[in-house]
Amino acid sequence: MRSDQEPKERRMELVLGREGDRSGRSAEGGASRRREEWLMRRRRARTGGLASELLKLRTTESDSTPATLYRTGKKTEKSEQEARLSAEYPVYVTRHPYYAQDPSFDPASQACPDFTSDEFAEDQEEFMAEGMTHDTAATLLARARRVNMRKEADKWRKANEDAAAVEEERARIFAEEEATRATLEAFGQEEALRADKKKYPHKYSPINMRDPPNQRPDIPGTYALKRLEEGVSLELYYLGREGLDAAKNTAVSGDDPKTPFSQSSGLRFYTHQQAFGVREPLVQAPGLHFNTGRQDPGVRDPYSRMSHTHSLWYR
């Protein structure tokens, strides 16, 4: 029994869990999946160093809210590294982002203004001292300007390097994701093709582009192949394509182990006499009658019935 003192968040979790079980899927499945994706991108960004912390973590297309980073249950719009970069380079990162976007805007390449003009008369007064002319003050202004522009150029170069590193890291992550997606897609296609081949094997059978055969090949039966493998004598009509009638009309002559043989089609060749299965004359077993198959009571031969059965095979 649930107590009323339980926190409200815990009770909401229990309610959501029951509703998720009722519907067949978790109610917080989509949110947890998005959070796992965000954590994975966050881990990748941390391994890339300082520049990779500037990666923009994008949410899914269905989420219209801006991307935010969650730490200990609090929402923060910027990470600590990004805030530190903004504090170190406020001009180039925050106020003037085109410094890091436009590589042609190099502070060191800017032309030095004419400090002897009336436009810089007030600045010359800041450098005026006893016995110093306006030309000397203009020279000091030009030197100070070169020193400042050198520092500005260093900051500009550093900001460009950080931006290039961020872009390179973003491109690398995108390439990895695309490669993973392509690999999974190819694997899925291979699995689908393998399943289709297993279900419909004849659909993928090769088709030989040739003329139809004009002669029927000799295809011996399973019984004939088994007899040949065992090395047992086999009648020729089990192997010939002319059939039993042609085997009956076979001409055999002589006692030579190599006997000429001719078929009804005119084909003539030499083969062993045992291949024809020459029938030997039947010999009546003692005590066995061929007509009735009854055993003579006076003969005690246990194999007489078997002999009669074998004799029937060769009739």
Q: Which of 205, 237, 253 is the last residue of a domain?
A: 205
Q: Is residue 177 domain-shared with residue 141, that is, in the same domain?
A: yes
Query: Please, which pLDDT band fits residue 290 given cuts at 50, 70 and 90?
Result: very low
Using an 8 Å Cβ cutoff, are 153 and 145 in contact? no
Residue 210 lies in a domain: no
Residue 104 lies in a domain: yes
Residue with structure tokens 């869990």? 17
Interatomic CA distance for residues 121 and 116, integer angstroms: 7
Q: Is residue 100 domain-shared with residue 77, that is, in the same domain?
A: no
pLDDT, residue 261, reads 54
Residue 15 lies in a domain: yes
Q: Is residue 156 domain-shared with residue 252, that is, in the same domain?
A: no
Interatomic CA distance for residues 44 and 309, integer angstroms: 85
Tens digit of each residue's pLDDT (9 = 90 or more) over 294-304: 444 444 444 44
Amino acid at 252: V
Q: Which residues contact 274 (CB under 8 A, 6 or more apart)?
A: 233
More confident residue, 224 or 67: 224
What's the total number of domains in the chain?
Answer: 3
Q: Is residue 140 domain-shared with residue 191, that is, in the same domain?
A: yes
Tens digit of each residue's pLDDT (9 = 90 or more) over 233-272: 887 777 766 655 655 565 444 444 555 555 555 555 555 4
Return the percentage of the chain with pLDDT > 90, whole number.
4
Using an 8 Å Cβ cutoff, are 248 and 236 in contact? no
Residue 217 lies in a domain: no
Query: Please, which pLDDT band fits residue 199 given cuts at 50, 70 and 90?
Result: very high
Q: Is residue 143 domain-shared with residue 83, that is, in the same domain?
A: no
Q: Which of 65, 88, 111 is the last residue of a domain?
A: 88
Q: Is residue 102 domain-shared with residue 193, that is, in the same domain?
A: yes
Tens digit of each residue's pLDDT (9 = 90 or more) over 5-24: 545 444 444 444 444 444 44
What is the mean pLDDT of the segment spanning 197-210?
86
Residue 216 lies in a domain: no
What are φ and ψ of residue 60, in 5° steps? -70, 165
Using an 8 Å Cβ cutoff, are 91 and 155 in contact? yes
Helix (H) or strand (E) holding 259: strand 258-262
Helix (H) or strand (E) holding 19: helix 8-23
Interatomic CA distance for residues 315 and 313, integer angstroms: 6
Asked whether residue 53 carries a pLDDT value surpassing 60, the answer given is no
What is the end-to-end Cα distance of the chain in Å, rounded?
92
Q: What is the pTM of this model?
A: 0.28
Interatomic CA distance for residues 158 and 245, integer angstroms: 99
Interatomic CA distance for residues 4 and 11, integer angstroms: 9
Which domain covers residue 257, as residue numbers?
Answer: 222-295+305-313
Residue 215 lies in a domain: no
Q: Is residue 228 domain-shared with residue 159, that is, in the same domain?
A: no
Q: Which of 88, 113, 131 is the last residue of a domain?
A: 88
